[in-house]
Amino acid sequence: MPYSSSELTEIGEWRERLSEILPVLRGAGSLWHRTSVASLKKIEAHGAIEPNTGQFPTTYDQSEISYGRYLGAVCLFDFDSEREDDVLFHALNWVGFLQDQGVATVLIRLDRDELSDENLLFHPDIQKSLSPPSGQLEDMLLVTNQHGEQCSPMVIPRVEVLHTGRIPFDAFQEYLLIKKGKKYEHAALPPRPTAISKIEEFVEAWSNSSAN
């Protein structure tokens, strides 16, 4: 879609703001799962990322009405399939997830080739599945929020991907640790065998630097 001059200015501002982290997220054709350090320990113990169907705590109330929760799927990020301008135009919808887990947020880089296409719903497929087949509003998929109101399931535009079923450890390529702050300081670590201990070292160092 063509963008107006003001929208292009906004996209440019996001490109500059995310200049440290965007090249890391894009370019390798990877998928990403965002989690906390505490949850990563549980993921490693289970040997897989399990879909959150309500058994795990949620960071945001909106998660309870997400399309991923409705399908019982694992929510992932895909920063490669859409044009960079389109990804950045919707940055406000996803950038907060990069630093919302305390001092350090973990992004698990996943090998797309290790995941079955049958289990993946990418942006175009999600949009099609949410659109009423007949084009009539009464056919629109609705979910019930915490106030008992019906609304459309939430999806992060352009970058959200859903994976139905668990994602095994074999698909894990890397842990990307992102420090909370304006500059998106980050560190990449191979998964296992010492990843958790090294991540905790980064968290301690980053905590101390923030306190000083």
Each residue of 116-163: pLDDT tens digit? 999 999 987 887 777 766 555 555 666 666 667 665 777 899 999 999
Per-domain boundaries in the chain? 5-211
Q: Which of 117, 119, 98, 122 is nearest to 34 (CA)?
A: 98
Alpha-carbon span 33 to 200, nearest angstrom: 19
pTM recorded for the entire structure: 0.88
Kindly state the average pLDDT of the residues 51-73: 70
**pLDDT recorded at residue 95:** 97
Q: What is the CATH number of domain 5-211?
A: 3.20.170.20
Q: Where residue 70 falls among pLDDT bands split at 50, 70, 90?
A: confident
36 exposure class (CB count in 10 Å sphere: 0-12, 13-18, 19+): middle
Q: Tell whether the model's pLDDT for residue 205 goes beyond 80.
A: yes
Lowest mean pLDDT among 23-37, 100-114, 121-135, 197-211: 121-135
